[in-house]
Amino acid sequence: MPDTIPFPSAQVRFGSSSGQPLTRRDGFLKVTGAATFAADNHPENLLHAVVAVSTIARGRVVSLDVEAAKAHPGVVEVITPANCPPLALDPDEKHGLFGFRFDALQNDRVRYAKQPIALVLAETLEAATEGTRLLAPVYETEPARIGFDNGEPYAPATVGVGGAPDFDRGDLAAGLAAAAHLVDTEYETPAQYHNAMEPHAIVAEWDGDTLTIDTPNQAIVLSRAAYAAFFGIPPENVYLRSPFLGGGFGSKAILAGPQILCIRAARMLQRPVKLALPRDQMFGPVGHRGATRQRLRLATDAEGRLTALEHHAVATTSSFDEFIEPAANASHNLYASPAISTRHGAVRVDTGTPGPMRAPGEASGSAALECALDEAAAAIGIDPLEMRLRNYAETDPATGRPFSAKALRECYAQGAERFGWAGRPLAPRQMTDDAGRLVGWGMGSALFPAPMFQAEARATLRADGTALVETAAADMGQGAWTALAQIAADSLGLDIEQVEFRSGTSDLPDGGVAGGSGHTATAGSALHNAGTDAIAKLAEIAVNDPASPLFGAGNAGVEAREGRLWHREDETRSEGYGDILARSGMESLEGSGTGGRDPADAEARAMFSHGAVFAEVKVDPDLGQVLVTRLVGAFAAGRIINPKLARSQLYGGMIWGLSFALHEEAIHDRRTGRPVNADLAGYHIPVHADIPAMEALLIDEDDRYVNVLGIKGVGEIGITGTVGAIANAIWHATGVRVRRYPIRIEDLIG
């Protein structure tokens, strides 16, 4: 990227904030407890709501003891399908691209365990909780359909969010026939649940037909419109506040039944209502990653170059809706093959509907692909890194388009050097440590798209030399408040401390969706364009004002930095923002901007972040216990706005990859359909003792096409190389190839 971005009559120089490892602006508020999360709001006259959920997975509710619950001291109301007010839209219909069917007490049917079957409202949380216990539901039960072998197979119309289920490029049959080697293998990944630190919560309050909501949300303005539609009011009548999110991972971008029930209760009773899901209710109505079964066939010539790549994935989804984990799509864009064929199937089971979960499709698909490629390397007898280099794609394998930028070779080289990969023996079970543990080294390639959505922003220069920038962005822990403020400050030629950043409420310009690793690029582009628009307007005033030192500089142009406009060809001529505004009689000057990508640009080039992850594991040869001792990741993701925040996100992704490989699995009782580990004791995630020495290398990459700022994303890519790297390292240590996740002790010693 050039050092400056031109715009009418003025320029802004990158540098003072962008690229700096600034500490998060919201960090102090969070560590001191001053940050206000949704459940921290306590309007006057507040009622507490608790959802009563089903203990069966399939059937109907025959009866509820509503009178017993209402008789409990403090209970104000019990809402059931019998008295639940109607919605303006049917919750059993899909509304919009991100719309899901959900349960909001529309009938007595039970479609999964932990489905809402009633809502109890009380003066205290304790009374509402006891009221749900007194309901004593009676069910008419039908057999639960849990697992691939008990569900109902079907062919999905779409996968992911509106994607095509099947893909073909080249002649698969010819590629298979030409193969000197063929790997035909199957992998399984389990259901996983988001389990953000902050469970879903909402506080809803009505004032006539105006609704105020406090709820963690990844798509603030989009969700405002959705909430308004379900309650038959204009979007501008909804005020959604979401300044802080305690994690989201995709689950807080989607409307769900419990939030709708809370809003209905507040309208019905004309009192503010708070609902915060307990941890166990996170395993039901608010999304998860569906389980997958994946078959891969990798055909190669004698030197290990792919002649055909076939990837078929089957994923679980709910009995009543459709979100299919697009796992096979992970094989589209990474490795050069003259023939690529991917297919998706689905199985309906009696669980809640899956949804987007950090790296949806890429995480589960790469967990299989990266191991299958290692299997092929082992069959041929070449190093796994060499195998990847021999199949390096110079253009996008799926489309033939050139990449907007691709520094994956540099990721391989720098990651391997830092890790010490050159000393790796080819055969497994060749390395031990001083304690007699088996040592293994594995690697995996990392890939994630670089999408952009649509966003708007506003920038206001003030006469005192400061600025206000505004966009309804969402910071769910990735540091958006800081990175976006850095972009805005540079666009205005100001120090970041001179910029007030407002975000997190629906009355601000639409900041787009915080998801898909595209939020910084999207909202950041809108803020940059808003800032450059404000500076352009200010420059126009100055160069046309005879009293300004910059008068007549229109042809040469001016540059914005340090709170002043500078003549580009004469450094002795400059003027402060405040002076320009004061002389023109203006208290402030406003600029606006949008962020998004021209469809023609998206069609012209393939846009991805790339990376490589190297893992070391140590395995007890007698007990099969696995310890990951080192992780080194090297990632190329365009311009890095804040290296400290970027590394934090990459570490988080790599930790999630470790969790995927060794820990996470949602287990449902096949008889009842209930999740049996619906808590953070039974649903395993890594703790500090599980996390190894980690390093994330940021590889320089200049992408002139992805957007005006050259920004990609880092939020999800860290998962996609890590899962396979750890699994491959376990094989290298033990000689045992495990083809299901999470990898268990019994898989290694059984």
Q: Which residues carry out catalysis?
A: 716
Enumerate residues 6+ apart whose C-beta is below 8 A from 356: 160, 161, 250, 251, 253, 254, 287, 323, 515
Pairwise CA distance, residues 526 & 288, whole Å: 31
Report how far apart, in Å, the C-alpha atoms of 255 and of each of 52, 285, 569 are: 19, 10, 54
For the chain, give the number of residues: 750
Pairwise CA distance, residues 187 & 200, whole Å: 32
Enumerate residues 6+ apart whose C-beta is below 8 A from 555: none
For 731, half-sphere exposure in the C-beta direction (CA atoms, 13 angstrom radius) is: 24
> Helices 362-380 & 717-734, crossing angle to 10 degrees?
40
Three-state SS string across 424-465, please?
CCCCCCCEECCCCCEEEEEEEEEEEECCCCCEEEEEEEECCC
Pairwise CA distance, residues 723 & 443, whole Å: 9
Task: Name the nearest CA neighbour of 414 among 455, 457, 385, 383.
Answer: 385
Do the bridges between strand 438-449 and strand 455-462 make them parallel or antiparallel, or are there none, so unpaired?
Answer: unpaired
* Contact assessment for residue 209 and residue 234, using Cβ atoms and an 8 Å cutoff: no
Beta bridge partners of 612: 445, 634
Cα torsion 562, 568, 569, 571 to 10°: value is -10
How many CB atoms lie under 10 A from the CB of residue 34? 9
Do the bridges between strand 238-241 and strand 210-214 make them parallel or antiparallel, or are there none, so unpaired?
Answer: parallel
Q: Integer distance in angstroms from the first to the last C-alpha of the chain?
A: 54
Residue with tokens 């308004």: 228
* Contact assessment for residue 363 and residue 654, using Cβ atoms and an 8 Å cutoff: no
Pairwise CA distance, residues 249 & 263, whole Å: 24
Residue 280 is classified by DSSP as G
Residue with tokens 């580990």: 677
Sequential DSSP letters for 579-622: HHHHHTT-SEEEEEEEE---HHHHHHSB-EEEEEEEEEEEE-TT
Q: What radius of gyration, in Å, describes the C-alpha atoms of the chain?
A: 27
Pairwise CA distance, residues 686 & 654, whole Å: 11
Sheet containing 109-110: order of strands: 109-110, 59-63, 138-141
